[in-house]
Amino acid sequence: MGSKWRKVKLSLGLNLCAYLPRTTDGDDDGDYHPLPSSERLSDAVLLPPSNWENMVPSRTTTPLPSSHCLRLPKSLSKSSSKSSKQTCSICLMKMKQGDGHAIFTAECSHSFHFHCVASHNNQVCPVCRSKWKEIPIRSPGLDPGGRSRNDALMDVAHRLPVPQRNLNQWHIRGPEPGVFNDDESLDHLPVIAESNNTLDNTSDTTIKIETYPEVSTVPRSHSYDDFTILVHLKAAAMAAIRNPSLSGDQVSLLQSRNPRAPVDLVTVLDISGSMSGTKLALLKRAMGFLIQNLGCNDRLSVIAFSSNARRLFPLRRMSDIGQQQALRAVNSVIANGGTNIAEGLRKGGKVMEDRTEKNPVSSIILLSDGRDTINGVGMNSSYPNYESLIPLSIRSGSNREFQIPVHTFGFGTDHDPSLMHSISEISGGTFSFIETETMIQDALAQCIGGLLSVVVQELQVCVECTNPKLCLSSLKAGSYRSHVSADGKTGLIDVGDLYADEERDFLVSVKVPAESSQCETSLLKVKCFYRDPLTKEMTSTESGVVRIQRPKIAGQEEMSIEVDRQRNRFRAADAMVEARTAAEQGDLAGAVSILENCQRVLSETVSAKSRDRLWVALDAELKEMEERMVSRHVYEVSGRAYILSGLSSHSWQRATARGDSTDGSSLVQAYQTPSMVEMLTQSQPFLLSSPSRQGLLQSLWSQPKPR
């Protein structure tokens, strides 16, 4: 099912947007150049076609040596003349006489769908760049590609006025201000609400704490140096996402009654020369989806970078007018120049740092398909200094009140995954590996599904020993900063934000002495301190005291499956780190051996014997990593990025995109929240267009999800 599902998505993805050729009219200085009306890409580039039924699922693959079945996608473009004659270069759909679509043959002999050329609004051939004297004019009543007039994004795009070269629009090129303090005012928007109104009525508190000792009974004569207790946290749910079957009007009504925390978002987009064509068009469509799903209280700013970087527009509220202007600005960019990731990040950080007002949630999204070619920092360097690319203002821990996570997305096989992972890790964000460019929108949808559902901020977890004879020996918290006091009596974990329904698991090890006469031993208790993003109030909650029974004689007791499950996760993450180190040193056989040994160890645990969902997911992920290490070439092309995106996911316990992990059928799937799944569903509206696809979607959603 998974393989067939990937084929369907890839084939459908090939037709998601218009093809944007690289222009030769402008200079190659890397600055932002908005297109005049005669050269701009049609607004239809941001709109999905509805004619899905005529497409044939297909996927070009590269076979690997020996018996391994990993398949790597080739370029999505077709270079043969035969293919170019059969495919419309504007919508990328096949052209066939008699299929109900008129075909227009231009003066340069290249052919296109009539409705595509009519909506192209451009007298330059997308294939050979020759000038056309005449193009067909679209009838006012014609909807290109037969798209539904109910499509919300289309409704926004249809309201866009056609920009003229001589208009002094706010997004037209001009000198940038020295200080980015021109963010649109929030006007004291009424987003404050009672905290319990923003949550599902079944939730009593914003954070639920549960604790699990590895065993509940320990003989008095036994002592432990590392007795393990699991601390499990879960954030409350948002009412609007508890029932995905609600209509759009019902969801809007719930959200108006139960407002969520609004977001300040800066997207830093790679528009270097390598992004020309299909990748840029797919990126524009993904940005159109993002813009459409931001609310009027959310603000967005877009940075476009190539050899240099430019802010397309300041932080602007995504009202109807704001969405129109954002769509127009994103739609007008062209691809050229080199790749200056450092400058793009610098300007993204400056937008956040200089703003005069702040929404409760802030984040930066970085999307790139290449390596930094300007600053001499990257995989080609002997000692890459990735930290130098990140502005001081957004580094994790540099300024607690101004920490801005950067969520990075690497496209295809030519980006620098080590750089992208380092940027996200240093700033407190996640790294996603988008192996196939057609999955850009899904990966972005999953990320913003989380960002638009933040219910907890500045979360700190305090663990305190309740028995004077006990002390903490260690805290396992992944990438979260943790600290154990000098006397070992308390420990602190700095967690930060939590999305609605998001969970966190930490392992606490304590030294438990032998007991002389007591029938039970108290171990510890957990307190959580956090800020409500809407009310701005600090709140605390705490667990009960964790205790174990201490009889004189105790029988053999099985390990708690909750504790065992999380031990397996940490074991798998440690094996990934070791395997990556071996692979980077050229020892691929050793790397595969490390992963295989980890699989064997996990297969003997309590979780494996009970077919625990997280164990199934970890086992599938480790196998996938082994397949991506069959040769140096395969590791360079996809193995490194796949491992790093997996490490990012497990270390932060947050969903990232890698391989087919955004598909409902994938076993390699963890940490997705209901809001992420709901946003992914909106990203794939074509799945609901026919009863057969509804059945497919139902079967995919019925697959068990790892916790």
**Token digits for 169?**
């629009």
Same domain, 334 and 408: yes
Which segments within 532-666 are labelled E, that is strand?
A: 538-542, 546-549
Buried b (16+ CB within 10 A) or exposed e, 308-335: bbbbbbbbbbbeeebbbbbbbbbbbbbb
In a domain, 30, yes or no: no
3-state SS assignment for residue 302: strand
Cα 142 from chain centre: 36
Question: Would you state the pLDDT for residue 703?
Answer: 40
Same domain, 548 and 487: yes
Query: What pairs with residue 46 in β-bridges?
Result: none
Amino acid code (one letter) for 379: M
- Bridge pairing between strands 361-368 and 263-270: parallel
Burial of residue 233 (CB within 10 Å: 0-12, 13-18, 19+) is buried
Q: Report CA torsion sign: 462, 468, 471, 476.
A: negative
The 3-class SS string of 499-522 reads: ECCCEEEEEEEEEECCCCCCCEEE
- Say how many C-beta atoms besides its own lie within 10 A of residue 259's C-beta: 20
Question: Would you state the pLDDT for residue 396?
Answer: 56
Closest to 411 measured CA to CA, from 399, 420, 424 = 420
In a domain, 90, yes or no: no
480 DSSP assignment: S
Same domain, 412 and 477: no
How far is Cα 14 from Cα 643, in angstroms, rounded to an integer? 26
- Say how many C-beta atoms besides its own lie within 10 A of residue 194's C-beta: 11
Question: Would you state the pLDDT for residue 349?
Answer: 92
In a domain, 337, yes or no: yes
Query: What pairs with residue 270 in β-bridges?
Result: 305
Low-confidence ranges of the chain (pLDDT < 70): 1-87, 89-94, 96-101, 115-124, 126-129, 133-174, 188-204, 239-258, 376-384, 393-402, 664-667, 669, 685-707
Amino acid code (one letter) for 682: Q
Which residue is it, tokens 């056309």?
A: 132
- Bridge pairing between strands 490-499 and 503-512: unpaired
Question: Could you please report the per-residue DSSP string of 370-429?
Answer: S---SSS-STTSSS--GGGGS-GGGSTTT-GGG---EEEEEETTTS-HHHHHHHHHHHT-
Amino acid code (one letter) for 440: I
Same domain, 445 and 427: yes
Same domain, 365 and 398: yes
Domain of 219: which CATH number? 2.60.40.740
Same domain, 288 and 212: no
677-692 pLDDT, tens digit each: 999 999 876 443 434 3
**Token digits for 31?**
């600055």
- Say how many C-beta atoms besides its own lie within 10 A of residue 136's C-beta: 14
Same domain, 371 and 491: no
How far is Cα 364 from Cα 376, in angstroms, rounded to an integer? 23
Same domain, 434 and 471: no
DSSP H or E run through 630: none
3-state SS assignment for residue 591: helix
**Token digits for 636?**
């360079």
How far is Cα 628 from Cα 337, in angstroms, rounded to an integer? 32
Burial of residue 435 (CB within 10 Å: 0-12, 13-18, 19+) is buried
| Residue ending a domain, choose from 511, 541, 558 | 558
* Helix and strand counts by DSSP (H, E) for the chain: 18, 20
How far is Cα 628 from Cα 238, in angstroms, rounded to an integer? 38
Residue 80 φ/ψ, nearest 5 degrees:
-75, 150
Sheet with 309-317, side-by-side order of all strands:
309-317, 299-305, 263-270, 361-368, 406-411, 431-434
How far is Cα 378 from Cα 384, in angstroms, rounded to an integer? 5
| Residue ending a domain, choose from 527, 558, 589 | 558
In a domain, 171, yes or no: no
| Residue ending a domain, choose from 558, 583, 612 | 558
In a domain, 276, yes or no: yes
**Token digits for 428?**
């407190």
3-state SS assignment for residue 212: strand
The set of residues, in sequence order, having a beta carbon less than 8 Å from that of 577 and lying 6+ positions away, is 647
In a domain, 638, yes or no: yes
Same domain, 307 and 415: yes
How far is Cα 700 from Cα 5, in angstroms, rounded to an integer? 9
Same domain, 423 and 527: no
How far is Cα 406 from Cα 396, in angstroms, rounded to an integer? 10
In a domain, 251, yes or no: no
Rounded to two decimals, the pTM is 0.74
384 DSSP assignment: -
Which residue is it, tokens 């599904």?
A: 449
Amino acid code (one letter) for 385: N
- What helix, strand, coil percent values describe the chain, rounded to 5? 35, 20, 45
Same domain, 440 and 499: no
Same domain, 270 and 350: yes
Q: How many domains does the chain have?
A: 3
In a domain, 572, yes or no: yes
Q: Report CA torsion sign: 490, 494, 497, 503.
A: negative
Question: Would you state the pLDDT for residue 156?
Answer: 40
Burial of residue 150 (CB within 10 Å: 0-12, 13-18, 19+) is exposed
How far is Cα 340 from Cα 307, in angstroms, rounded to an integer? 5
Q: Which domain holds residue 505?
A: 208-237+456-558
Cα angle vertex 363, ends 383, 234, to 5°? 105
Closest to 266 measured CA to CA, from 312, 327, 227 = 312
